[in-house]
């Protein structure tokens, strides 16, 4: 569990760094909100492309080798940030993000169900919340670290950039983009070291690794209603969480919200992700006493309310209500995930691939919100996450119910 938990930390850290890349690359390349959201679109689209194949890879080579493969692919993606910054090219940054996310997808498909089935089914949500808490530790540290190493200097205003001669503009972009080289080089090396350590570590095998022939004789995993509705819940949850996190720096720097510079705003983003970390530690304990669906439903109501308040408020009220949403995002992914794979037994690997595939919501919903923000303003574009939380409320109380187990996990 300790070894697997380090994986959750690493992919959390790398995912949250995207929230720093958004304002950084927006200013370097003078992008609109819709254009800069291609960062999240490219990153989270990889889940849709690679999740199902990753589930098959887990069946073929097992959890441990899939994890090592995922770490190596992540390291390659991190190293690709160096030529992207040297160009500098927004398209190359997007390509590096896709490769990085492909590796994270393999980790997600392997590690989440591994934690869920590595112990009694009735405490699966609690275990996954505990490991996800360390994922949130990574997402909490990343924005602060990114504000120091990536957003170290104040960017030029868009109007000033547009007045620069072509040669000076290219030199400016090269200088600003170079700030990502050292952080991603260090992360790439760390990922390779972690991959080598796990390759030598003896992880216990679990039964579903050897269940491929049995799974072929069972009904299609797509006939599991709670899994399909759970995939939709993962889609909207990740979409809402990523949308809010991606827009926070630009949102809080608005004169009528926080009226702060982007470096200071980036550090406040750590509070958003830190709330998720605290909530997961608390949730890990609560889920031993409260039914998963019930707690998930309660945690869905509050962020819908908080985001709604932020949309109609200004100043400190708008800023702190949106930051507080992180606390209630905390238990959503692990709770939805365990409810979705509950009772799948030998189909757990395939079901996990479908749920991880649904993380593509982090690509589509932020992009939609970016398009909306370009038209009606960043303040009121947050109605989209509100709709997402209302669906999670439905799934928690009604959609997560299942009729019977496929076998091997739950009852």
Domains of the chain are 2-399 (1.20.1250.20)
Among 383, 271, 379, 387, which Cα is nearest to 33's? 379
**For a pLDDT cut of 70, what percent of the chain falls above it?**
92
Q: What is the mean pLDDT of residues 258-270?
A: 89
pLDDT digits (tens, 9 = 90+) for 130-161: 888 888 899 899 999 988 888 866 677 777 77
What is the model's pLDDT at position 217? 57
What is the model's pLDDT at position 409? 38
pLDDT digits (tens, 9 = 90+) for 183-200: 999 999 999 999 999 999
Position 411 confidence tier, pLDDT thresholds 50, 70, 90: very low
Cα distances (Å, whole numbers) of residue 143 to 16, 19, 140, 246: 7, 7, 6, 11
Residue 167 above 60 pLDDT? yes
Helices (H) and strands (E) in the chain, counts: 19, 0
pLDDT digits (tens, 9 = 90+) for 39-72: 999 999 998 899 888 878 887 888 889 999 999 9
Which residue has better confidence, 128 or 168? 168
Residue 156 near residue 175 (C-beta atoms within 8 A): no
What is the model's pLDDT at position 154? 63
Q: Which helix (H) or strand (E) holds 109?
A: helix 90-117
| Sequence-ordered list of residues with C-beta below 8 angstroms from that of 341, at least 6 positions apart, any chain | 113, 116, 227, 230, 348, 351, 352, 355, 409
Among 140, 171, 169, 172, which Cα is nearest to 153's? 172
What is the model's pLDDT at position 210? 45
What is the model's pLDDT at position 407? 46
Q: What is the pTM of this model?
A: 0.80
Q: What is the mean pLDDT of residues 255-275?
A: 91
What is the model's pLDDT at position 215? 46
pLDDT digits (tens, 9 = 90+) for 218-234: 667 888 899 999 999 99
What is the model's pLDDT at position 181? 95
What is the model's pLDDT at position 206? 63
Determine whether 308 is exposed, middle or buried from the number of CB atoms within 10 Å of its CB (0-12, 13-18, 19+): middle
What is the model's pLDDT at position 211? 47
What is the model's pLDDT at position 227? 93
Q: What share of the chain is helix, strand, coil (3-state, %, to 5)?
A: 80, 0, 20
Residue 136 near residue 7 (C-beta atoms within 8 A): no
pLDDT, averaged across the chain: 88
Residue 308 above 60 pLDDT? yes
């Amino acid at each position: 569990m300790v070894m697997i938990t380090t994986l959750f930390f690493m992919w959390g850290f790398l995912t949250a760094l995207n929230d720093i890349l958004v304002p950084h690359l927006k200013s370097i390349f003078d992008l609109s909100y819709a254009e800069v959201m291609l960062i999240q679109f490219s990153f989270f689209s990889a889940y849709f492309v690679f999740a199902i194949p990753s589930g098959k890879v887990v069946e073929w080579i097992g959890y441990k080798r899939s994890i090592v493969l995922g770490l190596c692919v992540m390291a390659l993606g991190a190293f690709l940030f160096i030529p992207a910054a040297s160009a500098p090219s927004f398209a190359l940054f997007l390509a590096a993000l896709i490769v990085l996310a492909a590796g994270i997808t393999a980790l997600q498909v392997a590690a989440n169900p591994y934690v869920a089935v590595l112990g009694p089914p009735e405490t699966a949500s609690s275990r996954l919340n505990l490991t996800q808490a360390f994922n949130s530790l990574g997402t909490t540290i990343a924005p602060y670290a990114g504000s120091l190493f990536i957003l170290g200097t104040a960017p030029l205003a868009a109007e000033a950039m547009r007045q620069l001669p072509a040669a000076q503009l290219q030199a400016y972009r090269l200088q600003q983009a170079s700030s990502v080289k050292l952080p991603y080089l260090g992360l790439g090396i760390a990922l390779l070291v972690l991959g080598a350590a796990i390759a030598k570590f003896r992880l216990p095998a679990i039964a579903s690794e050897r269940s491929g022939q049995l799974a072929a004789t069972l009904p299609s995993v797509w006939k599991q209603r709670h899994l399909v509705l759970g995939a939709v819940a993962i889609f909207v949850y990740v979409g809402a969480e990523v949308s809010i996190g991606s827009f926070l720096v630009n949102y809080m720097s608005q004169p009528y919200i926080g009226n702060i510079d982007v470096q200071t705003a980036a550090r406040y983003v750590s509070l958003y992700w830190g709330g998720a970390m605290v909530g997961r530690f608390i949730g890990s304990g609560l889920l031993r006493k409260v039914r998963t669906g019930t707690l998930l439903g309660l945690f869905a109501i509050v962020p819908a309310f908080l985001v709604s308040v932020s949309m109609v408020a200004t100043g400190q009220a708008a800023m702190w209500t949106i930051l507080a949403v992180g606390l209630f995002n905390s238990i959503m992914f692990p709770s939805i995930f365990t409810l979705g794979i509950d009772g799948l037994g030998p189909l757990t690997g395939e079901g996990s691939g479908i749920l991880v595939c649904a993380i593509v919501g982090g690509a589509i919903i932020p992009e939609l919100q970016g398009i909306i923000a370009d038209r009606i303003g960043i303040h009121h574009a947050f109605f989209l996450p509100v709709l997402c939380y209302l669906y999670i409320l439905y799934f928690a109380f009604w959609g997560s119910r299942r009729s019977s187990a496929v076998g091997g996990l739950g009852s």
